[in-house]
């Protein structure tokens, strides 16, 4: 089981790394823009903390995707995993990365059929967007369960990294249905860590102890 932080916020990354609860972080252009963070600074921090980092490519042409991905990989080859958005050009670039043993994942997944096509290239991860799939009328947890069956039956080593969560319940359902990994935004981490029932139980234990 792997847990990643979905963030480009340097303070959040350092904080959750201190808890030793995350294996790395996932980024995308939206997160970087939201935090006004420079990708170079995020990579530098991940190197310092020995964390994996997923970096998403922006180019549309497969050769440009390949060149962009290579440049990212050179910065931190030990733990950078490229995120290639699902598209015809994106898939076309994968054979080039595979040839050079550059680790890659396929992101922006919305269907089982997209996962099946992606598996032909044996990516390190496929990344379905759980909440978004549900919002568009799909069945995200069935997709995970069925994808797990396809991967197992065909003896493929690709892992399922579930993303796009809006609640801890969605995370639970993703893991129960076979996801190998999840990437969690900081607000949901806070929701899990700051459970009022756990706090009450701890206070009750203390109160009862001091009655002795």
Query: For residue 118, what is the domain's CATH number?
Result: 3.20.20.70
The pLDDT value recorded for residue 56 is 97
Note the pLDDT tens digit of each residue in 104-148.
999 999 999 999 999 999 999 999 999 999 999 999 999 999 999
Residue 83 designated active-site: yes
Backbone angles phi, psi at 85, to 5 degrees: -60, 140
Contacts of 40 (CB under 8 A, 6+ apart): 75
User: What range defines the domain where residue 181 resides?
Assistant: 2-209
| Kind and range of the H or E run holding 125 | strand 125-128
Q: What residue has token string 């009450």?
A: 200
Number of structural domains, the chain? 1
Catalytic pick among 38, 44, 70, 83: 83
Task: Indicate whether 197 pLDDT > 90.
Answer: no
DSSP state letters, 45-93: HHHHHT-EEEEE---SSHHHHHHHHHHHHHH-TTTEEEEEESSHHHHHH
Contacts of 71 (CB under 8 A, 6+ apart): none
The pLDDT value recorded for residue 53 is 98
Computed over every residue of the chain, the mean pLDDT equals 93
**Mean pLDDT over residues 75-89, rounded?**
97
CA–centroid distance for 139 within its chain: 19
Count other Cβ atoms within 10 Å, centred on residue 10: 15
């Amino acid at each position: 089981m792997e847990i990643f932080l979905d963030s480009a916020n340097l303070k959040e990354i350092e904080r959750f790394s201190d808890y030793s609860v995350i294996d790395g972080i996932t980024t995308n252009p939206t997160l970087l823009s939201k935090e006004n963070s420079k990708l170079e600074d995020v990579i530098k921090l991940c190197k310092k903390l020995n964390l994996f980092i997923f970096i998403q490519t922006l180019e549309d042409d497969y050769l440009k995707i390949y060149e962009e991905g290579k440049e990212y990989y050179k910065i931190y080859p030990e733990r950078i995993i490229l995120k290639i958005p699902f598209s015809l050009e994106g898939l076309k670039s994968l054979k080039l990365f595979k040839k050079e043993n550059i680790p890659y994942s396929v992101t922006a997944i919305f269907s089982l059929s997209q996962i099946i096509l992606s598996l032909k290239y044996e990516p390190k991860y496929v990344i379905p967007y759980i909440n978004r799939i549900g919002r568009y009328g799909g069945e995200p947890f069935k997709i995970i369960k069925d994808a797990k069956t396809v991967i197992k039956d065909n003896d493929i080593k690709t892992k399922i990294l579930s993303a796009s969560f809006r609640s801890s319940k969605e995370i639970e359902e993703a893991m129960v249905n076979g996801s190998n990994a999840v990437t969690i935004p900081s607000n949901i981490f806070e929701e899990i860590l700051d459970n009022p029932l756990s706090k009450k139980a701890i206070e009750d234990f203390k109160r009862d102890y001091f009655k002795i």
